Amino acid sequence: MVDKVPLTVVGADKLREELKELKTVVRPRIVTAISEARAHGDLKENAEYHAAKEQQSFAEGRIGDIEGKLSNAQIIDVTVIDAGGKVIFGATVEIEDIDTDDVVTYQIVGVDEADIKEGRISVSSPIARALIGKEVEDVVAVKTPGGNKEYEILSIKYI
User: 90-114 pLDDT, tens per residue?
Assistant: 999 999 999 999 999 999 999 889 9
Residue 138 predicted with pLDDT over 60: yes
Are 140 and 151 contacting, i.e. CB atoms less than 8 angstroms apart? yes
Q: For residue 79, what is the DSSP state?
A: G
Residue 1 predicted with pLDDT over 70: no
To the question of pTM greater than 0.75 for the whole model, the response is: yes
Which range scores top for mean pLDDT: 1-15, 17-31, 138-152? 17-31
Q: CATH number of the domain at 49, please.
A: 1.10.287.180
**Angstrom distances, CA of residue 60 to CA of 28, 40, 43, 77:** 12, 24, 21, 29
Residue ending a domain, choose from 56, 75, 94: 75
- Which helix H or strand E contains 6, and what residues bound it? strand 5-8
Residue 107 belongs to what domain range?
Answer: 78-157
User: 57-81 pLDDT, tens per residue?
Assistant: 999 999 999 999 999 999 999 989 8
Same-domain check for residues 93 and 109 = yes
What is the tally of structural domains in the chain? 2
Same-domain check for residues 102 and 37 = no
